Amino acid sequence: TDVPFDIKRVYCIHRTEPGVSRGFHAHLNLKQVVICISGSCRFRVDDGRTVEDYVLCKTDRALMIEGCVWREMHDFSHDCVLIVLASEHYDENDYIRDYEQFLALVNPPLTLCA
């Protein structure tokens, strides 16, 4: 199927050492499509209310990750190669690297009305 955004950046994630996990961040606006072209890995995605795990291991499947979704990558096989299609150019200001800050953003505290 078509990628639902204009692709502004493409990069690879590969040669991840055994036992190493990656990610541990969210983006404010960036959208990504991740395709595993070799090997496998497990993605954990969290929108602040629901946490889901997906194993990427087939080139005919892709994972679409919207903005404001926490992502972690675990259980990389030795031959794992991921291709990432991104909706925006790299922008450090788009990253949320603190999980508590992410939760506060997506689940703001309730206020009582008088």
Question: Could you tell me which residues are beta bridge partners of residue 49?
Answer: none
Contact call for residues 89 and 9 (beta carbons, < 8 A): yes
Q: How far apart are CA 44 and CA 49, in angstroms?
A: 13
Query: Which of 92, 90, 99 has its CA nearest to residue 25?
Result: 99
- In what helix (H) or strand (E) does residue 42 lie, and over which residues does it extend? strand 41-46
Which residue out of 25, 27, 74, 89 is catalytically annotated?
Answer: 25
Catalytic annotation on 25?
Answer: yes
Residue type, 39: G
CA 37, chain centre distance (Å): 16
Residues marked as catalytic:
25
